[in-house]
Structure 1
Amino acid sequence: MRPRNAEGSGLRSPRRLRWHLRAFLLLALFLPRATSLAEEGGEVLVAWRSPVVEVEARLPWLPADPELAARLRETALAALARFVAEAEAQRAALLAEGIETAGVPWDRRSRVEIRFAAPCCLSLLREITDYTGGAHGNTAFESLFWDRERKAVVGLDALLDLAAAKPALDRALEEALRREKHRRGFPLTGDDRDIFGRPRAEADSVFTLVPDRRPGRAVGLLFHFPPYALGPYAEGSYRLFVPAAGFAARLRPRYRPLFADE
């Protein structure tokens, strides 16, 4: 989809124009040769390209949550700036050794997606793919559960009593992994558990809420694991679902209504 221009995208609003100007100035500070900053299909798109590196970040348009939007924007721009700096530094080091660098450029793509929305909170997932040379690229996940009223990030240990819920969550994750590996034709073995990590519910776990058919309600949690976390690269990423019944009794009172049965 082609980015909409200011005349056709609703950017005539002074507030939107100010937002885009601030974002562009911040982008210029990090990436002086930026080639694109636009609103595209309800997203904010940041893209930059050179013979050495290509980067792109897509962020959701969040006019009702300016604090969250600013946080996501600053995080994305800082990450892109670091990646570009690393690529440029590697190029300089290779040139200093007399090695030409006409190969495939480094590449990073990231996208933040709203996975669950309710009046009180938002659950978002950032998926990052990058290539820095080698046989294949890499994938990573980051999640953010945002309390819209408190304007704060909520970790898994703030969503529920993690110490009490952890044994049941860990068992549910192990069972979900066993089923998923069987479905993919990769039976879970003892070697897998020894070589690769086991799925565990931790305070810094990457998780998103899974929406119910009822607006603003969730049926469980989805835990996201990148390649290599739970198996060989060829198996890819794993997304393991834990139904709310497995942890509902351990939810903090503030967030219990999100998973209510009634």
Structure 2
Amino acid sequence: MKQLLMLSLLGLAVLAGCKREGEPAAPATTTTTTAPATPATAADVPVAVELKDVSESTPDYIIGISYQVPAGQHPALAAELKKFADAARADLIEAAKSRSQPGGATSAPYDLSLSFTELMNTPSVVAVAADGSSYTGGAHGAPLIARFVWLPQQQRLLTARELVRDDKGWAAISGYVREQLHSALSQRVDADDLPAEERAEVVKNASRMIDDGTEPAPTDFALFEPMAAPDGKLGGLRFVFAPYQVGPYSDGTQTVEVPADVLLPFVAPEYRTLFSGG
């Protein structure tokens, strides 16, 4: 197991070293690791959007989509959720078409599993998590992860780029997050009780993945969840990193909680009142 972990991290480190400059580390074609890019407004969407669970099964693909969120309260947000799910479904069906072509896949059917859950619902902030995976061959499915932070009073999504607008702020957030991830990495490696030379190599390669996946820019911190404070405001943000962004697939989705007192000096003025102490 120890040798397998080391080989896995070495292989992934090579892939991470080939990533583009200034863009997220995760594979753009298979993994959704950014929040919805275009904020919606009430004028852009229908008055009401029906969020119906989806269950489809054919010889080529299986699709299951679950909406564990109320749709009627925020129709513009519901439209964003449905748009994300529809795009994931369309991508899987398009990929499945190749199965029936000469030389196409002959293994198990392709599979899409996606669930939407409500994380917070207050007069100021509503948050929804989308988590799932899309399998189109290979050893395992590609993660499907998104976070939707909705501002009901403004009828639009809040993005990382709007929340923190200067390089100094992202440098501070990046530094804090990296420190937490490196600490967690050290604890995991210590638990494996590796020989000193092997441990150093594993830490070196895994640390490179952390640094590559947390560059001081909003693109690497696009996924975030609000953390509730006792006063009903936000006590901070939980940044979410999909598999491959800051570690190997076996580490799964990783998160780092950044408290409000770290964030507030860098939050855009119009959003500071959302946070406790702002």
TM-score w.r.t. structure 2 length? Answer: 0.69
Say which of 208, 215, 218 aligns to 1:194.
208
Q: State the Cα distance separating 1:195 from its structure 2 match.
A: 5.2
Partner SS state of residue 126, structure 2: strand
Q: 2:114 aligns with which of 104, 110, 113?
A: 110
1:165, CA displacement in angstroms?
A: 1.0
Whether 1:51 and 2:59 are equivalent positions in the alignment is yes
> Which residue in the other structure is 1:85 paired with?
94
1:247 aligns with 2:263: yes
Is 1:223 paired with 2:223? no
Structure 2 gap ranges (5+): 1-46, 191-198
Equivalences for residues 166-177 of structure 1 within 5 A: 166-177=170-181
Contact kept, 8 Å, 2:125 with 2:149, in 1: the verdict is yes
**Aligned pair count?**
218
Letter in 2 for 1:221: L
Unaligned residue ranges in structure 1 (runs of 5+): 1-17, 24-42
Provide the aligned C-alpha RMSD in A: 2.6
C-alpha distance in structure 2 between counterparts of 1:117 and 1:199, whole Å: 28
The structure whose residues are more often helix, as a share, is 2
Q: Deviation of residue 130 (structure 1)?
A: 2.0
**How far is 1:66 from its partner?**
0.9
Alignment of 1:146-225 (within 5 A): 146-185=150-189, 189-194=203-208, 197-204=212-219, 205-215=222-232, 217-225=233-241
For 1:171-197, what per-residue CA distance to the aligned partner results, in whole angstroms no more than 9, with x for missing partners?
A: 111011012223433777232243563
Q: CA deviation at 1:212?
A: 2.1
Instruction: Note if contact 1:248-1:256 (Cα within 8 Å) is conserved in structure 2.
Output: yes
Contact 1:174 1:198 in 2 (8 A): no
Aligned residue identity for 1:241: E
1: CA distance between counterparts of 2:184 and 2:137? Answer: 30
One-letter identity of the residue aligned with 1:159: L
Runs of 4+ in 1 over 6 A off after TM superposition: none
Q: Secondary structure at the match of 1:74?
A: helix
Q: Does 1:71 align with 2:42?
A: no
CA distance in structure 1 between the partners assigned to 2:53 and 2:178 by the alignment: 37
**1:193-234 alpha-carbon deviations (Å, 9 max, x no partner):** 43563323533321111122343x111111111112112222
In 1, Cα distance between equivalents of 2:121 and 2:271: 13
Judging changes above 3 Å, is the alpha-carbon distance between structure 1 residues 214 and 109 closer, same or farther for their aligned structure 2 residues? farther
1:180–1:44 distance in 2 versus 1, CA, 3 Å: farther
Q: What's the offset of the Cα at 1:112?
A: 2.0
1:16-27 alignment to 2 at 5 Å? 23=50
User: 1:72 corresponds to which letter in structure 2?
Assistant: L
Cα deviation digits, residues 40-66 of structure 1 (max 9, x gap): xxx842221112111122222221101
Is the contact between residue 63 and residue 89 of structure 2 (CA under 8 Å) also seen in structure 1?
A: yes
Partners of 2:275 and 2:243 lie apart in 1 by: 30
Deviation per CA, 1:142-181: give whole Å up to 9, x if none: 1222221222222112123342311110111101101222
Report the equivalent of 1:137. Answer: 141
